[in-house]
Amino acid sequence: MSKNKSYTGVDYFRLISAYLIIAIHTSPLTSVSATGDFIFTRIVARIAVPFFFMTSGFFLISRYSRDNSRLFSFIKKTVFIYLLAIALYVPINLYNGYFKTEPFLPEFIKDIVFDGTLYHLWYLPASITGGAIAWFLVKSSGYKKAFAVTGLLYAAGLFGDSYYGISEMIPVLKNFYTLVFQVCDHTRSGIFFAPVFFVLGGYMSDSGCGAGGKTGHDGKKGLFLPLGFGISFSLMFGEAMTLHTLNLQRHDSMYLFLLPCMYFLFCIILSFQGKRLTRVRTLSLAIYVIHPMVIVAVRLFAKVLHLQELLIENSMAHYLTVCLLSTVAGAMITIFSDNARPKKKKPGAGTDRAYLEVDLNNLEHNLREIRKIMPEGCRLMAVVKAQAYGHGAYETAVHLNKLGVRDYAAATVDEGIELRKYGVAGEILILGYTAINRISELKKYDLTQTLISYEYAGILSKQGIPVKTHIKIDTGMHRLGIPWEETEKVKKIFSMKNIRVCGMFTHLCCADGRTPKDEAFTKEQTDNFYHVVNELKKSGIMLPKLHIQSSYGLLNYPEISGDYVRIGIALYGVLSSAKDETLLQPDLRPVLSLKSRVALVRPVKKGESVGYGRTFTAKRDSRIAIISIGYGDGYPRALSGGRGSVLINGREVPIVGRICMDQLAVDVTDAGDVARGDEAVLIGMEGCGELSAPRVADSAGSISNELLCRMGTRLPVVVKGG
């Protein structure tokens, strides 16, 4: 699910909510029925403000946020709107005698921080405070704890709002709320009211609400959501009427059943997706900010023209007039804002020189294809070490997490911590060595450590910190792990005090080969591993999760079973070498493209040389294009001198001379019209041409794994799809 989708339903409901808020401030049914007006303005219309909070949370709050820049941008924008609104209402506040309030400064500070300098402006500081609280709770603790904390705040707010009559009967609570109301006039604020709706909006975004069936496009769920909304709204209606009848309400913004009501309503709203309606968004905000000014203008106009009976005493006419004039004024503000906004389209970040393009649609496709061939009951463990093989750990792991992948493998504890800070949930297995003095970080970030030897396991246990682990069994690769023959040592690990064994695995060292010799050795490794497994069974030890397969293990030996399949290179849509042939050949699509730009095109006469060492001399009058990428970006220097090539305008052109740290040269004499700024593809497709990672790696005398991993340092990652 992408937050960049156009949720047309959200845009339209912004407008509906703006009119509901006008209703709260004008009481349109007063002249018809006081009870009817209460139902409309104090029950139905109370969904408006929580909707705005949830919308902000939906596009703002995420446990997957890389940094705090999006929060700061939201706060900056909201503060600007708030200051503009405060300035707009200075004349009305002067007329009302606001600035003569005694003592002015404490009341002014309270209003600025909590209540707003006019009755409707409380929403803006509440958005700032509530958004910040929700952001930091979700980032630091995840959604469960964030819901717990903001839920408690909301509960506290309830007893200062709709349930205040109960609080007045309990001295401790009454004293508490007396103190609260000295700081802010209502618990309908950015501390008690807003945070839980921000968190709920963010949760619905991160959990995939708004994508297909989860919002009601498939049969049963399509009926479930309206039914859920109907039931929860009915309960909220009953709750509100009961509280009103018993006269328990100090205010009437917060209801217990407002939370489930908003969840179901927002799910329904998200199901309507289509064309982006930017102007409707701006219009709804303008109506919200301007409508109190319009209310004052209508009342003044009616008084001057003696039309009070028509425009004031007739509450519905008053409401409709305010709505109409607010819409006209809002439309004028929207047009002005639209014209004042810069029209220049900003180029994608980092695309002016060289960049990696990661296609999340292809990543998702590969995930589906691999799951089709996995053994039944087996779970995919995504290997995201080395910046997800150069694809960007943030971009890939976060997307996989949103797609339901809950198991990951990283090489180092720092990689694991990085994933946790990105909000990735589930098991994260550290495949390599972690220094003893960093064991506390394994527990802190809920990481699972590989036991690389029996001695290492013993040292870990002695630290006195409970650690989740997987035992690595060396079945013939002779890298990390406990030798398979030493089964007694493996058994002892299960009884170590601070070692919690959650898994056991081995690594097949020649699963990419299909020669009889390779197949025999792979079978030997598998037999060795299951010898250990059988010995554990005989000793009555409960087996942990078992895993043997990696990408090539799955593609060449699909019959080997296990609880996990550790998928690395195949997940990214390529094999290690263009020469590799596998037993299974799923439809995998490359996820990464490497692209750069033409910085300069220059003529080179016959006999002139190009680059360091003059290794290229033109045999004819030529045109040479300088491309803004080099070995400092991870592109192999071994591709110098014609061993590598580049796609420009769909044509493959040879690299000439030596590749430099930051640039390289290609011969574009026969490539047609090539100019500065043209795109150059070094890995990927353009037109009918393709330079696959395995082919480029083979030309450099390497493998795709190494080639791709080298790319993730200096180059920015630009996401496509998702």
Name 130's Cβ contacts closer than 8 Å, sequence gap at least 6.
Answer: 53, 190, 191, 193, 194, 195, 197, 198
Q: From the CA atom positions of the chain, what is the Rg in Å?
A: 32
How many alpha carbons lie under 13 Å from residue 694 in its C-beta half-sphere? 14
Which residue intervals of 391-434 are DSSP H helices? 393-402, 413-421
Q: What gap in Å lies between CA 295 and CA 287, rounded to an integer?
A: 12
- Bridge-based pairing state of the strands 564-567 and 651-656: unpaired
Q: What gap in Å lies between CA 423 and CA 404, rounded to an integer?
A: 13
DSSP 294-363: HHHHHHHHHHHTT-HIIIIISHHHHHHHHHHHHHHHHHHHHHHHHHHS--PPPPPTTTTSEEEEEEHHHH
SS3 content of the chain, % helix, strand, coil (to 5): 55, 15, 35
How many alpha carbons lie under 13 Å from residue 162 in its C-beta half-sphere? 24
Residue 66's CB is within 10 A of a number of other CB atoms, namely 13
Distances (CA, A) of 640 to 577, 644, 647, 676, 722: 20, 6, 15, 22, 35
Instruction: Measure CA 98 to chain center.
Output: 44
The SS3 assignment for 159 reads coil
CB 8 within 8 A of CB 275: yes
CA angle 636/642/645 to nearest 5° reads 65
Catalytic residue status for 385 = yes
Q: What gap in Å lies between CA 470 and CA 460, rounded to an integer?
A: 13
Bridge partners, 689 (sequence order): 686
Burial class (CB within 10 angstroms; exposed 0-12, middle 13-18, buried 19+) of 509: middle
CB 287 within 8 A of CB 2: no
The token pair at 574 is: 């390529």
| Encoded amino acid at 97, one letter | G
Q: Kindly name the residue from 76, 77, 523, 612 that is annotated as catalytic.
A: 612
Q: What gap in Å lies between CA 216 and CA 202, rounded to an integer?
A: 19
The token pair at 269 is: 């709203």
Name 84's Cβ contacts closer than 8 Å, sequence gap at least 6.
Answer: 289
Name 314's Cβ contacts closer than 8 Å, sequence gap at least 6.
Answer: 31
Q: Kindly name the residue from 139, 214, 385, 595 that is annotated as catalytic.
A: 385
Residues, the chain: 722
* Secondary structure letter of residue 115 according to DSSP: I
The SS3 assignment for 644 reads coil
Bridge partners, 665 (sequence order): 626, 656
CB 235 within 8 A of CB 33: no
Bridge partners, 380 (sequence order): 565
Catalytic residue status for 612 = yes
Name 462's Cβ contacts closer than 8 Å, sequence gap at least 6.
Answer: 498
Q: What gap in Å lies between CA 581 and CA 512, rounded to an integer?
A: 8
- Would you name the residues annotated as active-site residues? 385, 612
